[in-house]
Amino acid sequence: MKLVIVESPSKAKTIEKYLGADYKVRASVGHVRDLPKSNKKAIDIDAGFVPSYEISKGKEKIVKELTELSKKANEVLLATDPDREGEAIAWHIKEACNIKNPKRVAFHEITKDAVLEAMTHPRKIDDDLKKAQEARRVLDRLVGYDLSGLIWKKVRYGLSAGRVQSPALRIIMEREREIRAFSPEDFWTITANVENKNKEKFTLVCSKESRDEKEVDKILSSGEKNEWFVKDIKESEVKRSTRPPFTTSTLQQTASTRLGFAPSKTMGVAQKLYEAGLITYMRTDSTTLSRQAQKQILTLISKKFGKEYASENFFKTKSKNAQEAHEAIRPTNSTKEIAGATEEQKKLYKLIWQRTVASQMQNAKLLRTKITANIKNDIIPDFNTTGSRIIFLGWLAADPGAKGEDVILPEVKKDDMLKLLLIEKEHKQTQPPFRYTEAGLIKELEKRGIGRPSTYASTIKTIVDRGYVEKENRTLFPTDTGDVVSTFLENNFANYISDTFTAEMEQELDDISNGKREYAKTLKDFYGPFQKEIKSKESIEKLTTLGDVDEKIKCPKCKSKMVIKLSKTGKFMSCSTFPDCAGARTMEGKELEGPKETGEKCPKCEKPLVQKEGRFGKFISCSNYPKCKFIKEDEEEKKKKMTGVECPDCKKGEIMERRGRFGLFYSCSDYPDCKFAMKAKPTGKKCPDCEALMMEGTKTIPERCSKKECPNHRPDKKKSS
């Protein structure tokens, strides 16, 4: 028996079907080991930055099963994902399960031919790729742990900073400061609605945007009094060049703008398509296509659109180190119809199919027309209009979503007379630069060399989850907390969150993966100066206030002056004499009520219970918080939230509905003594495979197991395979 270990349970079943009876295919369900939470135990810096790993919580059973199976197997093949992280996971499986001399295979697509072909080219685990991923993990831990620790001391407990998330936040804040500093200026635009001799109407726009209203009125007056004519016509044939097939970055950007998908959602849906064998691996910097795929696409284009549309195109990969995979993201079979997928999967697959097929087509050709008009005596600025029409669709035939709307102009000739229907001015103001959307931030991070394609989605998700950025539609707005954290880092660690440093560090990690740099020396060269910088900032004063409030605004309780402070929910005005006076206001000036004693004692520590106001309304808790975290819940409200399902961990409490920073979840009523929790409402049934509680599903995912490690946790993956 030969054992093949992959990451995903659904992928395991598909691959086992392709390989036949001589093979057993099992899943590690992602990572099996990680660094411990305590940094003291995690990395031995003196020994050369040697990480100390431990089995990830909940993975003990999986590791035990894989260990037993590997001992019985004649041969073990590690087939984790074909990128740095996958290489590291393969090595971790080898170490955790004590597998001697395993072979490494990489599946860039989950199709029978690709899987069988990959099995004929086994290799050893690439130690350089593993070291590069390990260096990234260790580096991120060292930076995050040390920076976060300092921010806890100097700004506020519970805040964090990271090697890639901090530069991303800085970029958002730099744009926000530009917007705040922007001073709008008034200007006027002038439009003239005209018609030609055939009564065909079109609109002309004055070529000069004036900031002088008197000048604008003169143009209006002259335009109304005089005859109009066509001063000039220019027609030029232009081409719209074919676009390369998707990389991870361009897929995330296009899915955001066209489908409204968050980057993390795009990657989740793409993962399912990959595991179902419908697309190639979705983490890649490369824009190349295999010769076999290219020939198949060209044949398809000739049949579907015509031979004149086909064009064998090759694209140069922009990334210096396109290390994540060998090919661009493409359908594994461009002639195959997608079936049995969710609506989201169908939409993303269609986007990938269109872009891939379009990449092997001719350029589109457009005829661009510019009409210039003026009045007879020509004493005012020219008025123009531009339009275009497609004369050859080219690649737009396969990707109509990229076409846009063409403005078709009526036929006119030079010196033709025009009839003025209406000329009017419009008062406008100059606009500040736009805030970043998710797609825009990804494009900016890629342009500056910050992070890697596989990290963009998680970076954006992190700064949103941390409460540093809020997402409205797809636009990213920095919060007060994000502003304070970014400002603190920019003032004290500008070098370490700069574009140059972050991009150079990415290059050094690439060099480790290519065998050009040593792991320990790279980390030592970074960590020595970084640790000195951290220690040098230990003496700076704690950032207790963010500035003074206008002297006109006084404390609502004692009339003292007020200062700006930061809470978990953002900035607020606090009395400058706090804690002697607890007077507070919102940033809009509304008085904030402080905690009020209820007259009751805490049943845990005997301190007074107080009524507070939080994000979700009023509640009663211990005044000794955070040393005592007792919260008294309203009995009537508590009854409404009970599900009637016994807690599977402590067997005492009952599962009840709760709300946290990430929304609704369900946990034991005996919290914090029992910390059992699950994402969705329990059904009361037990999983037939692992005996864990089953929970309600969604429209696309039926009732499922609450245990992440169980295959029944994601039953939709069974369908996709």
> What are the pLDDT digits (tens) for 548-566?
999 899 999 899 999 999 8
- Dist CA 715 CA 721 (whole Å): 10
Q: What is the pLDDT of residue 317?
A: 73
- At 357-370, the pLDDT tens digits run 999 999 999 999 99
Q: What is the pLDDT of residue 721?
A: 36
CATH 3.30.230.70 assigned to domain 186-241+364-429? The reply is no
Indicate where the chain has its CATH 2.70.20.10 domain(s): 186-241+364-429
Q: What is the pLDDT of residue 369?
A: 95
Residue 693: both structure tokens together? 């509680």
Q: What is the pLDDT of residue 615?
A: 56
Does residue 720 carry a pLDDT above 50? no
Mean pLDDT across the stretch 46-74?
93
Phi, psi of 50 (to 5 degrees): -85, 120
Q: What is the DSSP letter of 516?
A: S
> pLDDT band at 65, cuts 50/70/90?
very high
Does residue 323 carry a pLDDT above 50? no
Q: Which residue has the tokens 């004290």?
A: 492
> pLDDT band at 700, cuts 50/70/90?
low
Contact 430, 399 (CB under 8 A): no
Residues acting as catalytic residues: 281
Does residue 331 carry a pLDDT above 90? yes
Mean pLDDT across the stretch 475-483?
93
Residue 657: both structure tokens together? 């509905």
Name the fold adopted by 2-125. Answer: Rossmann fold (3.40.50)
Q: What is the DSSP letter of 508?
A: H
Selection from 546, 577, 578 nearest residue 564 by Cα: 546
% residues pLDDT > 70 (the chain): 96
Indicate where the chain has its CATH 1.10.460.10 domain(s): 136-181+434-536
Selection from 646, 670, 641 nearest residue 656 by Cα: 641
Does residue 452 carry a pLDDT above 90? no
% residues pLDDT > 90 (the chain): 64
Mean pLDDT taken over the chain: 90
Name the fold adopted by 248-358. Answer: Topoisomerase I; domain 4 (1.10.290)
- At 97-118, the pLDDT tens digits run 999 999 999 999 999 999 999 9
Residues sharing a CB contact under 8 Å with residue 694, sequence separation 6 or more, in sequence order: 682, 683, 684, 685, 686, 687, 703, 704, 705, 706, 712
- At 264-316, the pLDDT tens digits run 999 999 999 999 999 999 999 899 999 999 999 999 999 999 999 999 999 98
Q: What is the pLDDT of residue 320?
A: 55
Does residue 719 carry a pLDDT above 80? no
For the packed helices 127-154 and 499-513, what is the interaxial angle rounded to 10 degrees?
150
Selection from 130, 107, 109, 9 nearest residue 62 by Cα: 9
Q: Report which of residues 646 and 660 the model is more confident about.
A: 646
Residue 204: both structure tokens together? 């002309």
Selection from 81, 451, 457, 82 nearest residue 251 by Cα: 457
- Dist CA 464 CA 458 (whole Å): 10
Q: What is the pLDDT of residue 32?
A: 94
Q: What is the pLDDT of residue 40?
A: 67
CATH 1.10.4160.10 assigned to domain 136-181+434-536? The reply is no
Q: What is the pLDDT of residue 579?
A: 78
Does residue 626 carry a pLDDT above 80? no
> pLDDT band at 324, cuts 50/70/90?
very low
Contact 649, 678 (CB under 8 A): no
Q: What is the DSSP letter of 651?
A: S
Mean pLDDT across the stretch 375-397?
92
